[in-house]
């Protein structure tokens, strides 16, 4: 049975597209058949991070408006044959997305026996973000450990509880998970950044994963390689752990404690 996962947040720039790409790759690495869809019409960044921007011929809006089939628009990943990307349009307006059109695309992916469909949502609560979350079975809410991001995420949790199809029908609730990104234990220890416990207490949900600040995230994005594929990167390892927990694995939370400085580091202030 196909599960629809939306990656969302109230605030922009928190790492949703990086998370969507890494989540899709992590699931595909584990043998699942995955499609990842860019709902950010007018901007389109997912194909860049996935490294397939030069192979985009048809996009999400083309499929919705019956200008091509879903098979024509899906781009097969070069690394995993069970991973596919559906890019957003750079030239259309967000109003080109319709509830009926999105539902039809998701139904066709279900018929194609995809295990997971990952929806990369725009930030905020505009139309594209609403449609990305409306059909979701599960939501990954991406949060930075800062007050504005946490406050906006609380708003998103409220929408997930009341404005989705599951909420309207009353069959079940959308499963909600928090993913904390750009976490810096040293800054938390100094009191300059919210702690994991702070975020969990305010939002009332446990953290699915903690992704530390890392230059490898930007490097991977620029190279068209999702950071989860960088086995040496703490951020890549953290994303891989989060995917494992999403699938039910019991894994310790890494990269959450500040490293203790040695004598020479303390002496010279390094």
Residue 36: predicted pLDDT: 98
Q: What average pLDDT score do residues 180-186 get?
A: 95
Whole-angstrom distance, CA of residue 89 vs CA of residue 41: 5
Closest by Cα among 7, 9, 5, 39 to 123: 9
For residue range 212-228, what is the model confidence (pLDDT) as tens digits? 999 999 999 999 999 99
Give the pairing type, strands 83-86 and 75-76.
antiparallel
Residue 201: predicted pLDDT: 92
Whole-angstrom distance, CA of residue 141 vs CA of residue 206: 11
Query: In this model, does residue 79 exceed pLDDT 90?
Result: yes
* % of the chain exceeding 90 in pLDDT: 80
Residue 124: predicted pLDDT: 78
Closest by Cα among 43, 101, 98, 32 to 73: 101
pTM score of the predicted model: 0.93
Q: What average pLDDT score do residues 89-104 get?
A: 87
For residue range 40-66, what is the model confidence (pLDDT) as tens digits? 998 889 999 999 999 999 999 999 999
Whole-angstrom distance, CA of residue 240 vs CA of residue 121: 21
Residue 265: predicted pLDDT: 56
Query: In this model, does residue 264 exceed pLDDT 60?
Result: no
Whole-angstrom distance, CA of residue 130 vs CA of residue 112: 24
Residue 131: predicted pLDDT: 94
């Amino acid at each position: 049975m196909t599960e629809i996962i939306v990656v969302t947040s109230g605030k922009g720039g928190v790492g949703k597209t990086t998370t969507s790409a890494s989540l899709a790759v992590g699931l595909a690495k584990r043998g699942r058949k995955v499609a990842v869809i860019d709902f950010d019409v007018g901007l389109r960044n997912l194909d860049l991070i996935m490294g397939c921007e030069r192979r985009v011929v048809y996009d999400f809006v083309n499929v919705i408006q019956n200008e091509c089939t879903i098979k024509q628009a899906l781009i097969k990943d070069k690394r995993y044959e069970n991973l596919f990307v559906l890019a957003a349009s750079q030239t259309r307006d967000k109003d080109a997305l319709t509830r009926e059109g999105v539902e039809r695309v998701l139904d066709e992916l279900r018929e194609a026996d995809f295990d997971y469909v990952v929806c990369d949502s725009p930030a905020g609560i505009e139309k594209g973000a609403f449609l990305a979350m409306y059909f979701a079975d599960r939501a990954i809410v991406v949060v930075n450990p800062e007050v504005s991001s946490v406050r906006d995420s609380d708003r998103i949790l409220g929408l997930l509880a009341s404005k989705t199809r599951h909420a309207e029908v009353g069959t079940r609730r959308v499963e909600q998970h928090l993913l904390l990104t750009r976490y810096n234990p040293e800054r938390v220890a100094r009191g300059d950044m919210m702690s994991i416990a702070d975020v969990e207490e305010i939002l009332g949900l446990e953290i699915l994963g903690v992704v530390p600040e890392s230059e490898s995230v930007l490097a991977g994005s620029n190279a068209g390689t999702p950071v989860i594929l960088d086995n040496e990167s703490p951020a890549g390892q953290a994303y891989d752990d989060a995917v494992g927990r999403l699938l039910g694995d019991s894994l310790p939370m890494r990269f959450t404690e500040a490293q203790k400085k040695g004598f020479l580091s303390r002496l010279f202030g390094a």
